[in-house]
Structure 1
Amino acid sequence: MDAGDRQRLLEGTHHDPHTVLGAHPVPGGVAFRVLRPYARAVTVVLDEVRAELHDDGDGFFSGLLPLSREEPVPLYRLRVAYDDAVQETEDPYRFLPALGDFDLHLIGEGRHEQLWRALGAHPMTHQGVSGTRFAVWAPNARGVRVAGGFNFWDGTAFPMRSLGGTGVWELFVPGVGEGELYKFEITRPDGSKTMRADPLARRTEVPPATSSLVHASHYEWGDDAWLARRAERPAHEAPLSVYEVHLPSWRPGLSYRQLAEELPAYVKDLGFTHVELMPVAEHPFGGSWGYQVTGFYAPTARLGTPDDFKYLVDSLHRAGIGVLMDWVPAHFPRDDWALAEFDGRPLYEHEDPLRSAHPDWGTLEFDYGRREVRNFLVANAVYWCEEFHIDGLRVDAVASMLYLDYSREPGRWRPNEHGGRENLDAVAFLQEMNATLYRRVPGVVTIAEESTAWDGVTRATHHKGPSGFGGLGFGLKWNMGWMHDSLQYMSHEPVHRKYHHHEMTFSMVYAYSENYVLPISHDEVVHGKGSLVSKMPGDWWQQRANHRAYLGFMWAHPGKQLLFMGQEFAQGAEWSEARGPDWWLLDPQYGAEADHRGVRDLVRDLNAVYRDTPALWQRDTHPSGFAWVVGDAAEDNVFAFLRFDAEGIPLLAVSNFSPVVRDDYRLGVPDDVPAWHEVLNTDAARYGGSGVTQPHPVKPEPQGWHGRPASIRLTLPPLSTLWLRPA
Structure 2
Amino acid sequence: MSSSVPESGSVPESGSVPASGSVPESSSVPASGSVPESGSVPESGSVPASDRERLLSATHHDPHSVLGAHPVGTGVAFRAWRPYAEKVTVTTPEGLRTDLRDDGDGFFSALLPSEAAWSAPASPASSPYTLEITYGDTVQRVADAYSLLPSVGDLDLHLIGEGRHEQLWTALGARPMEHQGIQGTRFTVWAPNARGVRVVGGFNYWDGAAHSMRSLGSTGIWELFVPDIGEGELYKYEITRPDGSKTQRADPLATRTETPPANSSVVHVSRHVWHDDEWLRARNDRPAHEAPFSVYEIHLPSWRPGLSYRQLAEQLPRYVADLGFTHVELMPVAEHPFGGSWGYQVTGFYAPTARLGTPDDFKFLVDALHQAGIGVLMDWVPAHFPRDDWALAEFDGRTLYEHEDPLRAAHPDWGTLEFDYGRKEVRNFLVANALYWCEEFHIDGLRVDAVASMLYLDYSREDGQWTPNQHGGRENLDAVSFLQEMNATLYRRVPGVVTIAEESTAWDGVTRATHHIGPGGFGGLGFGLKWNMGWMHDSLDYLAHEPVHRKYHHHEMTFSMVYAYSENYVLPISHDEVVHGKRSLVSKMPGDWWQQRANHRAYLGFMWAHPGKQLLFMGQEFAQGAEWSEASGPDWWLLDPAYGAEADHRGVRDLTRDLNAAYRGTPALWERDTDPAGFSWIAGDAVEDNVFAFLRHAADGSPLLAVSNFSPVVRHEYRLGVPGDVPAWHEVLNTDGVRYGGGGVGNPEPVKPDDVGAHGRPASIGLTLPPLATVWLRP
TM-score bracket for the superposition, by shorter chain length: over 0.9
Residue 248 of structure 1 and its aligned partner are, at CA, apart by 0.2
- Say yes or no: does 1:34 pair with 2:80: yes
Kept in 1, the 8 Å contact 2:696–2:703? The answer is yes
Q: Pick from 247, 252, 258: which aligns with 1:194?
A: 247
Which whole-Å deviations, capped at 9, do the CAs of 1:244-265 have from their partners, x for residues lacking one? 0000000000000000000000
CA distance in 2, matches of 1:176, 1:65: 29
For 1:51, give the aligned amino acid: T
- Say yes or no: does 1:460 pair with 2:548: no
Q: Which residue of 2 aligns with 1:14?
A: 60
CA distance in 2, matches of 1:317, 1:577: 26
- Say yes or no: does 1:635 pair with 2:688: yes
CA distance in 2, matches of 1:642, 1:663: 20
Residue 25 of structure 1 and its aligned partner are, at CA, apart by 1.6
Residue 475 of structure 1 and its aligned partner are, at CA, apart by 0.2
Kept in 1, the 8 Å contact 2:128–2:144? The answer is no
SS in 1 for 2:467: coil
CA distance in 2, matches of 1:725, 1:30: 88
CA distance in 2, matches of 1:627, 1:142: 66
CA distance in 2, matches of 1:451, 1:672: 41
CA distance in 1, matches of 2:422, 2:699: 43
Structure ID, larger Rg: 2
CA distance in 2, matches of 1:395, 1:254: 26
Which whole-Å deviations, capped at 9, do the CAs of 1:19-39 have from their partners, x for residues lacking one? 000011222421100000000
For 2:674, give the aligned amino acid: T
Q: Which residue of 2 aligns with 1:64?
A: 111
1:279-358 equivalences under 5 Å are 279-358=332-411
Which whole-Å deviations, capped at 9, do the CAs of 1:397-435 have from their partners, x for residues lacking one? 000000000000100000000000000000000000000
CA distance in 2, matches of 1:697, 1:155: 79
CA distance in 1, matches of 2:550, 2:130: 82
- Say yes or no: does 1:44 pair with 2:90: yes
Q: Which residue of 2 aligns with 1:670?
A: 723
Kept in 1, the 8 Å contact 2:715–2:770? The answer is yes
Q: Which residue of 2 aligns with 1:616?
A: 669
Q: Which residue of 1 aligns with 2:313?
A: 260
SS in 2 for 1:258: helix
Q: Which residue of 2 aligns with 1:165?
A: 218
Kept in 1, the 8 Å contact 2:163–2:427? The answer is yes
Q: Which residue of 2 aligns with 1:274?
A: 327
What is the TM-score of this pair, normalised by structure 1?
0.99
Q: Pick from 186, 195, 199: which aligns with 1:142?
A: 195
Which whole-Å deviations, capped at 9, do the CAs of 1:155-204 have from their partners, x for residues lacking one? 01111010010000000000010000000000000000000000000000
CA distance in 2, matches of 1:278, 1:559: 21
CA distance in 1, matches of 2:95, 2:298: 62
Instruction: State percent identity of aligned pairs.
Output: 82
1:109-188 equivalences under 5 Å are 109-188=162-241
CA distance in 2, matches of 1:544, 1:591: 16
Residue 71 of structure 1 and its aligned partner are, at CA, apart by 4.0
CA distance in 1, matches of 2:197, 2:634: 46
CA distance in 2, matches of 1:598, 1:425: 49
Q: Pick from 71, 76, 79: which aligns with 2:132?
A: 79
For 1:626, give the aligned amino acid: F
Q: Which residue of 1 aligns with 2:48?
A: 2
CA distance in 2, matches of 1:293, 1:491: 35
- Say yes or no: does 1:95 pair with 2:148: yes
CA distance in 2, matches of 1:76, 1:191: 34
SS in 1 for 2:680: strand
Q: Pick from 418, 421, 434: which aligns with 1:365?
A: 418
Q: Paired residues, what number? A: 726
Q: Which residue of 1 aligns with 2:69?
A: 23
For 2:97, give the aligned amino acid: R
Residue 694 of structure 1 and its aligned partner are, at CA, apart by 1.0
Kept in 1, the 8 Å contact 2:324–2:657? The answer is yes
CA distance in 2, matches of 1:501, 1:72: 83
SS in 2 for 1:555: helix
CA RMSD of aligned residues (A): 0.7
For 2:446, give the aligned amino acid: L
The worse-fitting range, judged by mean Cα deviation, of 415-424 and 78-87 is 78-87
- Say yes or no: does 1:205 pair with 2:205: no
Q: Would the alpha carbon gap of residues 608 and 56 (structure 1) be closer, same or farther in structure 2, given more than 3 Å must change? A: same
Q: Which residue of 2 aligns with 1:223?
A: 276
1:688-703 equivalences under 5 Å are 688-703=741-756
Which whole-Å deviations, capped at 9, do the CAs of 1:197-237 have from their partners, x for residues lacking one? 00000000000000000011111000000000100000000
Kept in 1, the 8 Å contact 2:691–2:707? The answer is yes
SS in 2 for 1:378: helix
Residue 2 of structure 1 and its aligned partner are, at CA, apart by 1.5
The worse-fitting range, judged by mean Cα deviation, of 42-51 and 502-511 is 42-51
For 2:495, give the aligned amino acid: P
Q: Pick from 604, 607, 610: which aligns with 1:554?
A: 607
Q: Pick from 587, 595, 612: which aligns with 1:534?
A: 587
Kept in 1, the 8 Å contact 2:721–2:764? The answer is yes
Structure 2: unaligned runs, 5 residues or longer: 1-46
Q: Which residue of 1 aligns with 2:294?
A: 241
1:365-444 equivalences under 5 Å are 365-444=418-497
CA distance in 1, matches of 2:538, 2:181: 65
CA distance in 2, matches of 1:684, 1:51: 89
SS in 2 for 1:496: helix
CA distance in 2, matches of 1:629, 1:32: 88
CA distance in 2, matches of 1:84, 1:299: 40
SS in 1 for 2:559: helix
Residue 591 of structure 1 and its aligned partner are, at CA, apart by 1.9
For 2:70, give the aligned amino acid: H
CA distance in 1, matches of 2:292, 2:338: 35
Structure 1: unaligned runs, 5 residues or longer: none
What is the TM-score of this pair, normalised by structure 2?
0.93
CA distance in 1, matches of 2:197, 2:172: 14
Residue 66 of structure 1 and its aligned partner are, at CA, apart by 2.1
CA distance in 1, matches of 2:76, 2:128: 12
Which whole-Å deviations, capped at 9, do the CAs of 1:531-555 have from their partners, x for residues lacking one? 0000000000000000000000000
SS in 2 for 1:134: strand
Kept in 1, the 8 Å contact 2:128–2:143? The answer is no
CA distance in 1, matches of 2:454, 2:644: 47
Which whole-Å deviations, capped at 9, do the CAs of 1:630-665 have from their partners, x for residues lacking one? 000010000000000001100000000000000010
CA distance in 1, matches of 2:95, 2:215: 35
Q: Which residue of 1 aligns with 2:768?
A: 715
For 2:214, give the aligned amino acid: R
Q: Which residue of 2 aligns with 1:496?
A: 549
Q: Which residue of 2 aligns with 1:725?
A: 778
Residue 90 of structure 1 and its aligned partner are, at CA, apart by 1.1
Which whole-Å deviations, capped at 9, do the CAs of 1:546-579 have from their partners, x for residues lacking one? 0000000000000000000000000000000000
Residue 13 of structure 1 and its aligned partner are, at CA, apart by 0.6
Which whole-Å deviations, capped at 9, do the CAs of 1:469-501 have from their partners, x for residues lacking one? 000000000000000000000000000000000
Kept in 1, the 8 Å contact 2:145–2:224? The answer is yes
CA distance in 2, matches of 1:26, 1:341: 40
